Amino acid sequence: MAPVSGSLPEARTAYLLKQLELALRARLDAAVRPHGLTVVQYTALTELSRDPGISAAELARRSFVSAQTMQELIARLEQQGLVQRVPAEHNKRVLETTLTERGERTLHASDHEVDEIEQDMLSDFDTEAVEALRQALRSCTKRVRKGA
Protein backbone atom coordinates (compact mmCIF):
# COMPACT_ATOMS: atom_id res chain seq x y z
CA MET A 1 0.00 0.00 0.00
CA ALA A 2 1.52 3.32 -1.05
CA PRO A 3 1.60 6.04 1.59
CA VAL A 4 -0.63 9.04 1.15
CA SER A 5 1.39 12.10 0.25
CA GLY A 6 2.82 13.62 3.42
CA SER A 7 1.88 10.70 5.69
CA LEU A 8 4.07 8.04 7.21
CA PRO A 9 4.09 4.57 5.68
CA GLU A 10 2.25 1.86 7.60
CA ALA A 11 4.30 0.02 10.18
CA ARG A 12 5.50 -3.42 9.15
CA THR A 13 3.61 -6.35 10.65
CA ALA A 14 6.87 -7.64 12.15
CA TYR A 15 7.32 -4.30 13.90
CA LEU A 16 3.77 -4.39 15.26
CA LEU A 17 4.34 -7.92 16.57
CA LYS A 18 7.54 -6.79 18.30
CA GLN A 19 5.69 -3.87 19.89
CA LEU A 20 3.06 -6.31 21.15
CA GLU A 21 5.74 -8.67 22.47
CA LEU A 22 7.48 -5.90 24.40
CA ALA A 23 4.24 -4.52 25.86
CA LEU A 24 3.01 -8.00 26.77
CA ARG A 25 6.36 -8.94 28.30
CA ALA A 26 6.26 -5.84 30.53
CA ARG A 27 2.73 -6.66 31.73
CA LEU A 28 3.57 -10.33 32.29
CA ASP A 29 6.71 -9.42 34.21
CA ALA A 30 4.72 -7.14 36.49
CA ALA A 31 2.10 -9.86 37.00
CA VAL A 32 4.45 -12.72 37.92
CA ARG A 33 7.07 -10.74 39.87
CA PRO A 34 4.96 -10.59 43.08
CA HIS A 35 4.90 -14.41 42.97
CA GLY A 36 8.71 -14.50 42.95
CA LEU A 37 8.93 -15.41 39.27
CA THR A 38 10.38 -14.06 36.08
CA VAL A 39 8.51 -14.46 32.79
CA VAL A 40 10.92 -17.23 31.74
CA GLN A 41 10.38 -19.06 35.05
CA TYR A 42 6.62 -18.71 34.63
CA THR A 43 6.89 -20.11 31.10
CA ALA A 44 8.94 -23.05 32.35
CA LEU A 45 6.44 -23.80 35.13
CA THR A 46 3.60 -23.62 32.61
CA GLU A 47 5.33 -26.09 30.29
CA LEU A 48 6.14 -28.43 33.20
CA SER A 49 2.49 -28.33 34.19
CA ARG A 50 1.44 -29.22 30.65
CA ASP A 51 4.12 -31.88 30.18
CA PRO A 52 5.56 -33.18 33.50
CA GLY A 53 8.99 -34.78 33.23
CA ILE A 54 9.82 -33.02 29.96
CA SER A 55 13.55 -32.99 29.20
CA ALA A 56 15.52 -29.89 30.12
CA ALA A 57 16.50 -29.45 26.46
CA GLU A 58 12.87 -29.46 25.31
CA LEU A 59 11.89 -27.21 28.21
CA ALA A 60 14.61 -24.77 27.10
CA ARG A 61 13.24 -24.73 23.54
CA ARG A 62 9.69 -24.14 24.74
CA SER A 63 10.83 -21.40 27.14
CA PHE A 64 12.93 -19.61 24.49
CA VAL A 65 16.27 -19.95 26.32
CA SER A 66 19.49 -21.92 25.87
CA ALA A 67 19.96 -25.34 27.46
CA GLN A 68 22.58 -23.89 29.81
CA THR A 69 20.26 -21.10 30.91
CA MET A 70 17.51 -23.66 31.50
CA GLN A 71 19.79 -25.77 33.72
CA GLU A 72 20.47 -22.67 35.84
CA LEU A 73 16.78 -21.79 35.88
CA ILE A 74 15.76 -25.29 36.98
CA ALA A 75 18.36 -25.21 39.76
CA ARG A 76 16.93 -21.87 40.96
CA LEU A 77 13.33 -23.16 40.79
CA GLU A 78 14.41 -26.23 42.75
CA GLN A 79 16.04 -24.02 45.42
CA GLN A 80 12.76 -22.10 45.65
CA GLY A 81 10.88 -25.37 46.18
CA LEU A 82 8.85 -24.94 42.99
CA VAL A 83 10.17 -27.98 41.12
CA GLN A 84 11.79 -31.26 41.97
CA ARG A 85 14.15 -33.44 39.97
CA VAL A 86 14.02 -37.20 40.34
CA PRO A 87 15.80 -39.97 38.43
CA ALA A 88 13.75 -41.30 35.53
CA GLU A 89 12.49 -44.86 35.84
CA HIS A 90 13.92 -45.83 32.45
CA ASN A 91 17.37 -44.29 33.07
CA LYS A 92 18.54 -43.29 36.56
CA ARG A 93 21.11 -40.88 35.05
CA VAL A 94 18.28 -38.80 33.55
CA LEU A 95 16.58 -36.39 35.90
CA GLU A 96 12.90 -35.65 35.31
CA THR A 97 11.68 -32.27 36.44
CA THR A 98 8.16 -31.86 37.82
CA LEU A 99 6.26 -29.23 39.74
CA THR A 100 6.01 -29.48 43.50
CA GLU A 101 2.76 -28.63 45.28
CA ARG A 102 4.22 -25.20 46.01
CA GLY A 103 5.09 -24.83 42.33
CA GLU A 104 1.53 -25.73 41.35
CA ARG A 105 0.11 -23.17 43.80
CA THR A 106 2.50 -20.47 42.55
CA LEU A 107 1.66 -21.24 38.94
CA HIS A 108 -2.09 -21.21 39.67
CA ALA A 109 -1.83 -17.83 41.43
CA SER A 110 0.18 -16.41 38.51
CA ASP A 111 -2.16 -17.93 35.92
CA HIS A 112 -5.06 -15.90 37.28
CA GLU A 113 -3.24 -12.64 36.62
CA VAL A 114 -1.91 -13.78 33.24
CA ASP A 115 -5.46 -14.76 32.24
CA GLU A 116 -6.61 -11.22 33.08
CA ILE A 117 -3.86 -9.74 30.89
CA GLU A 118 -4.79 -12.02 28.01
CA GLN A 119 -8.50 -11.23 28.39
CA ASP A 120 -7.72 -7.51 28.38
CA MET A 121 -5.49 -7.87 25.32
CA LEU A 122 -8.20 -9.74 23.39
CA SER A 123 -11.25 -7.88 24.70
CA ASP A 124 -11.98 -6.23 21.35
CA PHE A 125 -12.37 -9.63 19.64
CA ASP A 126 -15.15 -12.20 19.75
CA THR A 127 -14.40 -15.91 20.25
CA GLU A 128 -14.18 -16.63 16.53
CA ALA A 129 -11.80 -13.72 15.93
CA VAL A 130 -9.58 -14.88 18.80
CA GLU A 131 -9.40 -18.38 17.34
CA ALA A 132 -8.67 -16.94 13.89
CA LEU A 133 -5.88 -14.82 15.38
CA ARG A 134 -4.42 -17.81 17.20
CA GLN A 135 -4.49 -19.88 14.02
CA ALA A 136 -2.93 -17.06 12.01
CA LEU A 137 -0.12 -16.71 14.56
CA ARG A 138 0.52 -20.48 14.50
CA SER A 139 0.64 -20.39 10.70
CA CYS A 140 3.03 -17.41 10.67
CA THR A 141 5.29 -19.09 13.20
CA LYS A 142 5.38 -22.29 11.16
CA ARG A 143 6.27 -20.41 7.97
CA VAL A 144 8.98 -18.31 9.63
CA ARG A 145 10.54 -21.44 11.19
CA LYS A 146 10.50 -23.16 7.80
CA GLY A 147 12.51 -20.28 6.33
CA ALA A 148 15.16 -20.38 9.06
pLDDT digits (tens, 9 = 90+) for 71-96: 999 999 999 999 999 888 888 777 88
Indicate the domain borders of the chain.
13-147
Is the full-model pTM beyond 0.75? yes
> Nearest Cα to 44, choosing from 86, 93, 103?
103
Q: Is the separation of the CB atoms in 24 and 30 below 8 Å?
A: no
pLDDT digits (tens, 9 = 90+) for 17-72: 999 999 999 999 999 999 999 999 999 999 999 999 888 888 999 888 999 999 99
CA atoms within 13 A on the CB side of 30: 7
Residues in the chain: 148
Given the candidates 3.40.718.10, 3.40.50.150, 1.10.10.10, 2.40.30.40, the CATH classification of the domain at 13-147 is 1.10.10.10
